[in-house]
Structure 1
């Protein structure tokens, strides 16, 4: 398993020097300054590779750009509106440029409007550290009383509506503004930053699309890009919904094992694969992560290893980011399934037998608390997670040739 680390570019508070000292072998990055729908030029790709390859004092870092996360799919493509065909053409051109630069793995998502949703970006833990959290009552308060989305009342049971009303009545104006910012924060470092009016506009446009329409649009996108990826030797991997249940009346189509089986069958090419994110999928109690790795592992091109603690029952639920070996997912069993999949690939002579993974998210601890890095992406919290995961891998592969 190849140990990688997400880096948001030169403005990231966690530097290439920090990552090198953490022991990561490769970098997961993206050109966040390039708007969705635009072409990633060879020059911009090469610039990011140079930034990754050099430490602050000018010595080689020994790190390479291993995984793109994300080559963003524009809202136009997801909705098939406006210049979506031009955006697909630009996507294919970017893929060709990435392939020419030697990068083989491209992570993307097809989540409508927001790439992920949290109500707290620095929720205090009993230990004194902080983490990201999704509080279902706070989210209902946002949806009902801040966004004031038409139809929101029907999406929440009466008991939760009452709890949300009481919670909202107790909120200060500062907390209301913070909650709104947190919910629409989306992907840190992304080029698209939405206001509440932007969100309302996109929600209205998604209304008539529904889950079936979004699946059809994803299929149309993959029918265009997956054959190109196959020809170029690239591996596309779709990230799951985060959280993996309906929000804001939007369709969610990548939340369960059945969703991923549909994805793989819709365009049945080896290049069309999965980013198995144990944290996103782990927010549903009915997702069996080790089992999904065993059953779908042939098409898992990238792993996000993190854990969440579900605070309430069912889905949707409240949850927070746990330590990598805490939470609801059996991380040892999941890593064991990944190691076994790699062994199968080696026996079959596959060139992609080493699955890249990264310690996803992490709790802010120690010096993280003053660093003010991207929410969810602390230095020491992820280092701790990587060390724990590295220990599992070492124990499971001890004495195995080629492991």
Structure 2
């Protein structure tokens, strides 16, 4: 696999030199400062490529911007309202500009409103480091008592509702504000309005949109952009929902293998593919990640390897980010499935035989604790994860055990 590293641009407190020393072979990035729905210009794309290639002192990094994560799909496109057709036209122009710059893999998601959701960004784990966590009861306290979403209590089991009320009653104003900021954190760099009032307005946009309509909107979007991607030899890959179950009354349509199969079959093109995120999909006990890696293999264009530990068997449930070889997912089996797919692609002569992957998220350990990097993206925690995953890959390759 190709070992890549997510970098948020010059504002990232984890530098390109850190990434290179961690063992990264390529960079995953995006133009987070460009508002959703606006064209990514050749100038801005080239500027980011130059930033990746050079350290601030001018020394060459030896790295290239290899994967886009993400070229965002605007809320207008997801809801098919407002300027959504213009946004699709702009999306196509951005694709053309990226292809002209030599970037072939574009990750995106179709999650309504928020790109990811957690209730704690620095939850203490047994070894003294911290990690991100989704606590279902805290989230219910936010949804019911802080956001005050209408009929929110109906979406939770009675015992969760009761405990959420107790937790909210025990929060002071600072604790309630911190929980609200954490839930609304979304994707770093997002320009969407994630204030409480902004969140309420965006939720209202989905009042008449259920999963069937949202899936139809996704298929409409893919029907527009996939033929162009195929002509440009681009690989589009949809990231799963995070967490992979409905929240705040919003529909979720990329949470299971069946969800992916519906989208892949509806727009059946090699350019329409999967971002296999073992962490997001791993937060459901009915998702078998090694089996999904096997069955979806021909359409996997990008891989996020991380592990979560579920704190219950229900859907939804609480979970936290575990170590890359910890958690509930058999990461060795997943890597083996991906190596088998790479071998199959090489035998077919596919140009995309090597699949880009990145060590996704990571626990804050050692000096990460005082660096203040983007939530989930520490330097040392990801270095540790990449080293472990690289070791698994090398051992499986050297012994032929993945065959």
Fold similarity call, TM over 0.5: yes
Unaligned runs of 5+ in 1: none
3-state SS of 1:353 partner: coil
**What is the TM-score when the length of structure 1 is the normalising length?**
0.98
Partner of 2:139: 139
Distance in 2, Cα, partners of 1:360 & 1:189: 17
Partner of 2:17: 17
Contact 1:186/1:193 (8 A) holds in 2: no
Partner of 1:364: 364
Distance in 1, Cα, partners of 2:49 & 2:103: 10
Partner of 2:346: 346
Contact 2:104/2:235 (8 A) holds in 1: yes
Distance in 1, Cα, partners of 2:37 & 2:250: 22
Distance in 2, Cα, partners of 1:190 & 1:362: 21
Partner of 1:254: 254
| Equivalent residues, number | 401
Partner of 1:322: 322
Contact 1:185/1:193 (8 A) holds in 2: no
3-state SS of 2:145 partner: helix
Partner of 2:213: 213
2:29 maps to 1:26? no
* Aligned 1:2-401 pairs, distance under 5 A: 2-398=2-398
3-state SS of 1:34 partner: coil
Q: CA deviation at 1:193?
A: 3.9
Contact 1:312/1:318 (8 A) holds in 2: yes
3-state SS of 1:255 partner: coil
Distance in 2, Cα, partners of 1:233 & 1:68: 14
Distance in 2, Cα, partners of 1:95 & 1:126: 44
Distance in 1, Cα, partners of 2:344 & 2:191: 39
Contact 1:17/1:56 (8 A) holds in 2: no
Contact 2:193/2:199 (8 A) holds in 1: no
3-state SS of 2:363 partner: coil
Contact 2:135/2:318 (8 A) holds in 1: yes
Distance in 1, Cα, partners of 2:27 & 2:80: 32
Q: CA RMSD in A?
A: 1.0
Contact 1:132/1:320 (8 A) holds in 2: yes
Distance in 2, Cα, partners of 1:116 & 1:330: 23
Distance in 2, Cα, partners of 1:156 & 1:291: 30
Distance in 1, Cα, partners of 2:175 & 2:231: 50
Distance in 2, Cα, partners of 1:125 & 1:25: 30
Once the two structures are superposed, residues 248-268 of structure 1 have per-residue CA deviations (whole angstroms, 9 ceiling, x without a partner) of: 000000000000100100100
Q: CA deviation at 1:399?
A: 6.8
Distance in 2, Cα, partners of 1:172 & 1:135: 18
Once the two structures are superposed, residues 60-106 of structure 1 have per-residue CA deviations (whole angstroms, 9 ceiling, x without a partner) of: 10100010000000000000000000000000000000000000000
Q: CA deviation at 1:57?
A: 2.6
Q: CA deviation at 1:126?
A: 1.8
Distance in 1, Cα, partners of 2:56 & 2:225: 37
Once the two structures are superposed, residues 139-161 of structure 1 have per-residue CA deviations (whole angstroms, 9 ceiling, x without a partner) of: 00000000000120211121111
Distance in 2, Cα, partners of 1:311 & 1:173: 27
Q: Structure 1 stretches (4+) deviating beyond 4 angstroms?
A: none
Q: CA deviation at 1:23?
A: 1.1
Distance in 1, Cα, partners of 2:153 & 2:371: 40
